Amino acid sequence: MFKRKKIGEMLIEAGHIAEKDLNIALAEQKKRGKRIGQVLIELGSLNESKLLPILGKQLKVPFVDLTKMEIKPEVLKMIPEKIARKHLLVPISFDGKSLMIGMADPLDVFIIDEIQFQNNCEVVRAICSENQINEAIDKLYVAGAMAEALNQIGDDVAKGGNAALENLKKAGEETPIIKLVNMILTQAVQKGASDIHIEPDEGELRVRLRIDGSLLVAMTLQPEALASVVSRIKILSGMDISERRLPQDGRIQMVIMDKQIDFRVNTIPTSWGEKTCLRILDKSNVQVSLDNMGFTPENFKKLKKAIAAPNGMILVTGPTGSGKTTTLYACLNDIKGPDMNICTVENPVEYKLKFINQVQVRSEIHLDFATVLRAFLRQDPDVIMLGEIRDTETATIAIEAAMTGHLVFATAHTNDSSSTPGRLIDMGIEPFLIAAALLCVVSQRLARRVCKFCKEIDRTITPDLISELLLPPEAINGTYYRGKGCEKCAQTGYKGRVGIHEVLYTNESIRSMIIKKGSNDDIAREAVKAGMKTLREDVTLKFAQGLTTPEEVFGLTRSD
């Protein structure tokens, strides 16, 4: 009986990996439970472009580079988009008898049988990059829907500006436009985007996604599509489609990839038409954990000590999009249970958490932060989480709650941890109350993580750079990494982000300084003397660990 040669052996024979790389990967495979090829890629010993041809040879199917293929629209119609996405495959060509399909998993025989039955033809398998398949689906099916949409929508709707209201509404409800907008939203969720920007410009309608903190162009559409696309989004989010002169806010709830997704929508008029921004919030149960937040052992210990306290205030600060709310949720996840009454007031509720009573602010009925906080104090809470301290009233109530036996979590907008007490004083809170209530301040940023799929040793690190990063001279002998760019990271060299933290744990000396209204610099010096690592030191440590790059270090701390 013929015995298939193992993929590891074939990769060694091809000269793509060394035997020691395989042995390390085999040991790691037992922990990760993944296929050996995927483990080798994650360890940086191999890249997908070398793996797939060998994998195809092992499975006796051809490897096809989809970037070099021209797929005709009539071939695309042979497999519905839903099937293509679900099974990670794409039709490539049809000669009248045989349909070639590119697959991430050519051993998925059930879907092959189904495609053969539906099309009454033979199916020829090919192995393709999973990323290339997803990109081909996004590009080709969106292009088809766009062409269909523009063909079906009359000139008066496509031109937008003087279209009648009923035509705009009709355009927003046309099946091709529905399909196009759904594709934009689905693609953003699949790529892990936090925001979608649909922005008109001269000669084009551009769709950009914010992924790992950076904006990337996802697609460009014909400018004539603007009116119908914006109308569809307005219909979904409950906005007034006839109002195009003023900004509007709305909300969309959809199930995408079997998850409940919430989109916060805002439109604003620009010189080229209405720009739309959608913030993506995953409303499903997300089990965020402090262990995965990127805290160093020292910072982790300080934060754990603070959240174990029976009362007091813990603040997480940083700019918008720095992961403050996620860190607060991780803290709540760490302490929640059937014996705790935890109440949160948020705008909006981003994640739904078990054993936690979450209330969403609704300004239209005057259900604001202060109103909910006062009500919480009559609900016998053990722990209160306030989405944001934004004014004197909410700050006062939060401080009072922390002083009367409650553990209070909140976010604030300050540049670093040492300037947070001063910010509360500026809001009119008495310094002695702040000193008594404040347990801990976590200042946070997110640094882009080097892509594990294309990372390689960075040989550009110089002694001057090491000195500029304030690392000791011997650090030049360390091993540092940089992503060269691949399909997985959209050629950026980064994929995912790692938390950067500065944890100020209040002691007697710091409390004394707060009471005396000490300067931010004085508080910072005292905190460093007590062992606090600054944001600059923490992000530099992450660089020294090979997790990020000097560009991220300087980019995140340029104002420090």
| 248: Cβ contacts below 8 Å, ≥ 6 apart | 234, 239, 240, 266, 267
Burial grade of 228 (CB within 10 A; 0-12, 13-18, 19 or more): buried
All structural domains of the chain with their residue ranges:
1-60, 132-282, 290-446+499-538
Of the listed ranges 223-237, 338-352, 456-470, the one predicted with least confidence: 338-352
Rounded to whole angstroms, what are the CA distances from 94 to 65, 79, 81, 134, 547? Answer: 17, 12, 17, 20, 45
The confidence score (pLDDT) of residue 162 equals: 45
Burial grade of 392 (CB within 10 A; 0-12, 13-18, 19 or more): middle
The confidence score (pLDDT) of residue 560 equals: 45
On the CB side of 302, CA atoms within 13 Å amount to 21
| Per-residue pLDDT tens over the stretch 64-113 | 998 888 888 889 889 988 899 889 999 999 998 999 999 998 988 899 99
The percentage of the chain sitting over the pLDDT mark of 70, rounded to a whole number, equals: 92
| 3-class DSSP string for 192-206 | CCCEEEEEEECCEEE
CA distance 547 to 541: 9
Question: Residue 26 pairs with which residues in a beta bridge?
Answer: none
Of the listed ranges 29-43, 111-125, 264-278, the one predicted with least confidence: 29-43
Given a contact cutoff of 8 angstroms between Cβ atoms, the answer to whether 229 and 180 are in contact is yes
CA distance 359 to 375: 11
Structure tokens at 60: 């006796």
CA distance 534 to 103: 48
DSSP single-letter state for residue 473: G
CATH code for the domain defined by 290-446+499-538: 3.40.50.300
Mean pLDDT of all residues in the chain? 87
The confidence score (pLDDT) of residue 522 equals: 93
The confidence score (pLDDT) of residue 488 equals: 79
Structure confidence at residue 486 as a pLDDT band (50, 70, 90): confident
Q: Say if residue 343's pLDDT is above 80.
A: yes
CA distance 512 to 522: 11
| 361: Cβ contacts below 8 Å, ≥ 6 apart | 345, 346, 347, 348, 367, 368, 369, 372, 387
Q: Say if residue 173's pLDDT is above 70.
A: no
| Per-residue pLDDT tens over the stretch 4-15 | 788 888 888 888
Given a contact cutoff of 8 angstroms between Cβ atoms, the answer to whether 501 and 444 are in contact is yes
| Per-residue pLDDT tens over the stretch 18-49 | 888 888 888 888 877 788 888 888 787 888 88
Structure confidence at residue 151 as a pLDDT band (50, 70, 90): low
Three-state DSSP class for residue 466? helix
- Omega within 30 of 0 (cis) for the link into 348: yes
Q: Phi, psi (5° rounding) for residue 492?
A: -90, -25
The confidence score (pLDDT) of residue 267 equals: 96
CA distance 444 to 414: 10
State which H helix or E strand residue 259 sits in.
Answer: strand 259-270
Q: Say if residue 157's pLDDT is above 60.
A: no
Q: Phi, psi (5° rounding) for residue 281?
A: -125, 125
Rounded to whole angstroms, what are the CA distances from 501 to 287, 293, 341, 435, 484? Answer: 21, 9, 28, 22, 27
Q: Say if residue 260's pLDDT is above 90.
A: no
Q: Say if residue 502's pLDDT is above 90.
A: yes
The confidence score (pLDDT) of residue 155 equals: 46
558, 351, 541, 552: which is closest to 446 by C-alpha?
552
Q: Say if residue 161's pLDDT is above 50.
A: no
What predicted TM-score, i.e. pTM, was given to this entire model? 0.73
Q: How do strand 259-270 and strand 407-412 relate by DSSP bridges?
A: unpaired
Name which residue leads in pLDDT, 350 or 408.
408
CA distance 269 to 275: 6
- Starting at the edge strand found earlier in the chain, the sheet holding 214-221 runs 214-221, 204-211, 195-201, 273-282, 259-270, 248-256
The confidence score (pLDDT) of residue 172 equals: 53
What does the pLDDT average to over 49-61? 88
The confidence score (pLDDT) of residue 146 equals: 61
Three-state DSSP class for residue 432? helix
Q: What amino acid occupies position 158? A: A
The confidence score (pLDDT) of residue 209 equals: 95
Structure confidence at residue 277 as a pLDDT band (50, 70, 90): very high
State which H helix or E strand residue 345 sits in.
Answer: strand 342-346
Q: Say if residue 163's pLDDT is above 50.
A: no
The percentage of the chain sitting over the pLDDT mark of 90, rounded to a whole number, equals: 46
Structure tokens at 210: 């914010």
Q: Say if residue 264's pLDDT is above 60.
A: yes
The confidence score (pLDDT) of residue 159 equals: 46
Which class is domain 132-282? alpha beta
| Per-residue pLDDT tens over the stretch 207-259 | 999 998 889 998 888 888 898 899 999 999 999 998 889 999 998 988 887 78
| Per-residue pLDDT tens over the stretch 473-482 | 888 888 899 9
DSSP single-letter state for residue 121: S
Q: Say if residue 174's pLDDT is above 70.
A: no
